[in-house]
Amino acid sequence: MRLSEITNYLESIAPLNYQEDYDNSGLIVGDPNMEIRAALVALDCIESIVDEAISTGCNLIITHHPIVFKGLKKLNGKNYVERVVLKAIKNNIALYAIHTNLDSIHTGVNARICERLGLTGTKVLSPKTGLLKKLVTFCPQAQAEQLRSALFYAGAGNIANYSECSFNADGFGTFKGNEDSDPFVGEKGVRHREPEVRIEMVYPTQAERKILVALFENHPYEEVAYDIYKLENKHQLVGAGMMGWLEYDMDAYDFLHLVKDRMQAKVVRHTDVIGKRIKKVAVCGGSGSFLLREAIAAGADAFITADYKYHEFFDAEEKIIIADIGHFETEQFTSNLLVEIIQKKFTNFAIRLTEQNTNPINYLF
């Protein structure tokens, strides 16, 4: 199978434009046209992971964390990042990362945390803006249904849990073609009035090319009239963090023990329990302190995340319980999620889950 088949599928699940500005998700090393024999999945791409790929015959490594975050000015092996890249190139191994774009989707990293904690009624904690546009076009009434169906098939008209969403208003359009025109209705040189439908649909920005192709191929007019608007609406299924509800409210200490057990955490650093019982929970895999205000505003009783600094714990101000369980611990089940995603599409593809624990942090008890 070609590398591009795998990466295109992953990017259909977690589009690259969903990643944060600082991130470097996507194909880091490799030719999209290269043939892939087998893939190794891990949380981090370190030298021992490349060695594992070599020993198991995998020529693709898919990780959550990108090995390259910033531009490399030299490749002389002076640090582990350069050594990983050099070893991958030398052994013709492709490196692919699916990081904050996987964090952002409602079926991604945070959904897996919610699943392990038994949370229900989950939704994105901080939905993203700037990911949606609106298409408005005008079509003769007789051809409107065919055009709508084509646009739906191309990916337009999806809003949260609903598909094939559109707004339609009847009116009429006027036009007069010159001598070089070839009008679908009417005559050259004569103003024509045609009953038309104004069709409006919302669509994700990454689907724009496919949607415009469908528009031009299925609209009957020689010159298609259409408008595209950028929307500031929040995309309710894409964003940072998630929140959900426990089946029953719990004593705070019992809940923290549940988190430690379900997330297989060595240590839970937390703020005062402030006499709260826990029912509504916010989560964020990896470094999530930037979401504290959203978690409090959403009415969460507890916020599960990682990488909290000392002074940031004071920001809870007895409004919420912050529980820092460790970066690796919040994301350690992401590799299993990726294997499941890939196997669902490519049932006969050879994919391996790493046997290594790449957590660079050790604990002394």
Domain boundaries, the chain: 3-103+331-353, 105-127+239-325, 131-231
Residue 186 has what pLDDT? 87
The dihedrals phi and psi of 175, each to the nearest 5 degrees, come to -165, 160
Residue 258 has what pLDDT? 98
| Positive/negative CA dihedral, 309, 312, 317, 318 | negative
Rounded Cα distance between 199 and 196, Å, is: 9
Residue 85 has what pLDDT? 97
* 65 annotated as ligand-binding: yes
Alpha helices in the chain (DSSP H): 3-13, 47-56, 80-90, 100-104, 109-117, 144-154, 208-218, 252-262, 292-297, 327-331, 334-345
pLDDT in tens, 306-330: 999 999 999 999 999 999 999 999 9
Angle at 48 between CA 20 and CA 59, to 5 degrees: 75
Residue 160 has what pLDDT? 85
Q: Which residues have CB under 8 Å from 346's CB, separation 6+?
A: 1, 6, 9
Rounded Cα distance between 110 and 116, Å, is: 10
In which region does residue 26 sit, left (phi positive, over 0), alpha (psi from -120 to 50) or beta (all else)?
A: left
The dihedrals phi and psi of 90, each to the nearest 5 degrees, come to -60, -35
Instruction: Give the Å distances, CA to CA, from 223 to 217, 226, 227, 284.
Output: 12, 10, 13, 48
203 bridge partner residues: 133
Task: Please give the CATH number for the structural domain made up of 131-231.
Answer: 3.30.70.120
Angle at 12 between CA 11 and CA 15, to 5 degrees: 50
CATH class, 105-127+239-325 region: alpha beta
Q: Which residues in the chain come in under a pLDDT of 50?
A: none
Rounded Cα distance between 169 and 184, Å, is: 21
Furthest CA-CA distance within the chain: 88
128 bridge partner residues: 235
CA nearest neighbour of 94 among 70, 63, 71: 63
* 64 annotated as ligand-binding: yes
Residue 275 has what pLDDT? 85
Are the folds of 3-103+331-353 and 105-127+239-325 the same?
yes
Quick one: CATH architecture of 3-103+331-353?
3-Layer(aba) Sandwich (3.40)
Residues found in the chain: 365
* 331 annotated as ligand-binding: yes
Instruction: Give the Å distances, CA to CA, from 193 to 170, 190, 291.
Output: 13, 10, 54
| Positive/negative CA dihedral, 17, 20, 24, 26 | negative
Instruction: Give the Å distances, CA to CA, from 306 to 83, 213, 299.
Output: 28, 44, 20
The pair of three-digit structure tokens given for residue 355, joined into one six-digit string:
């046997």
350 bridge partner residues: 38
Residue 365 has what pLDDT? 84
